[in-house]
Structure formats: structure tokens, C-alpha cells
Structure 1
Amino acid sequence: MLIKTEKDIISLIQSDEWMMGIIKTAESLNLPDWWVCAGFVRTKIWDVLHGFDERTSLPDVDVVYFDPSNTSETVEKELEGKLRNQHPDIPWSVKNQARMHLINNLPPYTSSIDAISKFPETVTALGVKLNRMNQVILTSPSGIDDVINLIVNPTPYFFETEERMQVYQERVKKKNWESVWDKVRVNHITSENIRMCL
């Protein structure tokens, strides 16, 4: 199946009962500026582009939100517990992006979308949620070209410094996505390449 546009991605997700169940469960928390993001979206796209009959399992399902009024990690764990009560078979991960800049040693984020734009890889910088009309909407701060063309690149933010690029390099080696999706091509940028580009 060909995937060419954001509408194609949205249609894929809307026709996936399992994914819609997860999105609706996340919505039930009524979190500010919430999204289900990263591998949840990317994995679906890559599975379809590879013609897989079975869904690739996810190490976690990332739910992000933005609430500067309460940045306690305890709250995130309580939210994960609420999600597990509804769907105990899902590996939920809930993170308030109003505090995650501290974990990632970055300047404060201004919103969940701002945080997603600063994920290491373009193919990970994706999120979905429901709008007020109960329709799926997609955020893709780095665009969708890389994910639909099966190419892994650093986001513009991670390309800005050699230190961030090293984080990107370590992540893509650890993830080893090519071993699961053999059509995926990862841009393995060397330290020498980084210095030349900066």
C-alpha cells in the first residue's frame, strides 16, 4: 500500500480498531495538550509499507501532555495506572513535557508539539489525537517525507550540535530498526560528517 499524504496516515489509523481504542483511552484522561506519539505512529506506517500481516509489538505506547502547573513524576505514574486499569495489556508510558526538558538537558519546551519537534529522529517526531469532532489529527513537526520514504534522519534540532548528534547516533544503533523493517535506511552520520555540517 502506498502512503503519500498526512490524510493517508490518518485514514490508516482511523481504520485500525486497536489504535483507535488506545487513542480514545488516552483521551479519557482529559489531559492538556495530549498526544499519543512516536513509535505508536511510526510502527503502523512502517508495518503497512512492509506489507506485514501482523502488528509489530511496541516496547511502550507514549502518551505526552503539557501541564506546567504540576510537573511531579508521581502524577505521571498515577495516570499510567489509570490507563492500565482500562487496558492492562498495553505498555503505557505517560510523560508531562513541561518537565521532560530537564531529563533531556534541554531548554524548556513551550508545548507538547514543541517537545515532539525536539525528538531525536524525524520518523519519531509524530503524534496523533482526537479533535473536538472526534476525528484523528496528526502532528508532524518535521514532516512525513522521511517516515513514508523509510529514511531515518535526525530532526533539525538534533542536527544543531555535535553532542545531540551523538545522542541520535547512539539511539539509532540501539533501536536497530533495520533488523525489523528491512526496507528502512538509517542515516548513520559520523562525527567527522557532523563537524563538516555544523
Structure 2
Amino acid sequence: MTGDASGWTVPPEADQSAFVIDAVMADPLARIVLERAHGLDLPDWALMAGAVYKAVWNVQTGRPGGHGINDYDLGYFDASDLGAAAEAAVVGPAEARFADLPVPVEVCNQARVHIWFNEAYGTRRDPLVDTNDALRHFASLTHAVAIRLDGDGQPELLAPFGLAAVFSRTIRPTPDLAGPEAWNRKIAEQSRLWPELDFLAAPV
């Protein structure tokens, strides 16, 4: 384990997956979301985005689990019907399963993301092939990590680019970032919540 004067540590590569899993599991709400999601039987599902990388930031900076997490993103992948009605038929009952929690759980079919994303940002992104592929298109390599429970209920990590960016204190956007204004608003908020980190703005 290596660290700096601030206490930020980088585990050996062999231990990094376990560190991320333990960090997520230290958040009581994340544990509940994972356990309930496991019972929903959604295809190719995962808890992703801030619920995972922010959990690492919270452990690294000594903050409580759940700090700065204003929603829990639960993705799944089902390309059998790309209509909005088909997604709504899944999302409605799924989100109702979490309605008693104090923080929203947002459920999204990753197979449909290219449809609304291209409309919103004027891009021409191809359809995704699975949930792991969705992580490859996130706004930052730091964000490209997710966790789910396998068939035996054990945590499984998805990290198509590895975990080096997750353990970096410098958070940078991808070169092909869409919506730089939204990115800059987001990191302005995050820099207040985690002032120990360095957030790089996107050119507009």
C-alpha cells in the first residue's frame, strides 16, 4: 500500500478490486440496493457511476459511506425491445422496489442509451453491446467502474479500463466528452464535496 502526506492510498494492483468492493459495501444504502437488485432478476445489471467511485473517494478521505451520493444508478441491458414503453415497464416496478429509501435509485436500460444520448447531444454513437460496454463510454475513466452480485450473491466488479483512474486523485474528462458544460457543473459541485481531489475542467 502506497500513500502520500494527505493519507490517500493506492493499494497494490492485486488488492484494488477488493478495496473498491469493500468501499461500496461500507455504504449501507449501496448494500441494500445491491441486495434488492439481485432479487429483481434484471438482465446484465450493475450498480454503477457515483455509487462506486464516490465510495472509494469517501474511504480514501475518511468520510462516511454515502457522502455526496445523491442517487444510485442501476443499469441493466436488454436489447430485445428498444421501445420506451418496454423500458418503462421494467423501470417502473424496479424503481418501486427502492421507493422507501432516502436516496433515489434510477434504473436505466443501457441498450437504449444511444437513442436518447444522440438526440440530446447531437452525437452518432453506436448501440452498446452490454453493460460492461456502457462503462467504456462514461465521461471519465474514473467513472468506468461498476459492481453487481453474481448468481451466488457475491460481489463482482466491472472495470473495462482497470482501476488506475479510480485510485487517481486527478479526475479528468475523456477527450470525446459530450456536454462539457454539464461536466464542468458536475465537477464544481464535486470539488466542494471532495476538496482533496483535483478535477480537470473540459474545454467549452
Normalised by the length of structure 1, the TM-score is 0.81
Taking a change above 3 Å as real, the CA distance of residues 7 and 38 of structure 1, as seen in their structure-2 partners, is: same
Counterpart Cα distance in 1 of 2:64 and 2:71: 20
Q: How many residues align?
A: 183
SS state at 1:148 partner: coil
Matched with 1:70 is 81
One-letter code aligned to 1:145: A
Cα shift at 1:82: 2.7
Cα shift at 1:84: 4.2
Matched with 1:59 is 70
Cα shift at 1:17: 3.7
- Could you report, residue by residue, the CA deviation over 1:152-187 in whole angstroms, capped at 9, with x for unpaired residues? 1234xxx2xxxx3352x3233111211110011123
Matched with 1:112 is 131
Matched with 1:19 is 30
Matched with 2:169 is 150
Matches within 5 A, 1:31-50: 31-50=42-61
One-letter code aligned to 2:139: P
One-letter code aligned to 1:123: T
Cα shift at 1:11: 2.3
Counterpart Cα distance in 2 of 1:68 and 1:29: 18
Matched with 1:123 is 142
Matched with 2:122 is none
One-letter code aligned to 2:167: I
Counterpart Cα distance in 1 of 2:108 and 2:64: 31
One-letter code aligned to 2:67: T
Matched with 2:93 is 82
Gaps of 5+ in 1: 192-198
Counterpart Cα distance in 2 of 1:54 and 1:11: 11
Cα shift at 1:38: 0.3
Task: Tell whether the 8 Å contact from 1:41 to 1:126 is kept in structure 2 after alignment.
Answer: yes
Task: Tell whether the 8 Å contact from 1:25 to 1:83 is kept in structure 2 after alignment.
Answer: no
Structural RMSD (CA):
2.2
Matched with 1:97 is 110
Task: Tell whether the 8 Å contact from 2:73 to 2:106 is kept in structure 1 after alignment.
Answer: yes
Matched with 2:200 is 187
One-letter code aligned to 1:61: Y
Identity percentage over the alignment?
25
Matched with 1:133 is 152
Q: Larger deviation: 8-17 or 139-148?
A: 8-17
Cα shift at 1:189: 4.6
Normalised by the length of structure 2, the TM-score is 0.79
SS state at 2:106 partner: strand
Task: Tell whether the 8 Å contact from 1:80 to 1:92 is kept in structure 2 after alignment.
Answer: no
Cα shift at 1:59: 2.7
Counterpart Cα distance in 2 of 1:130 and 1:95: 18
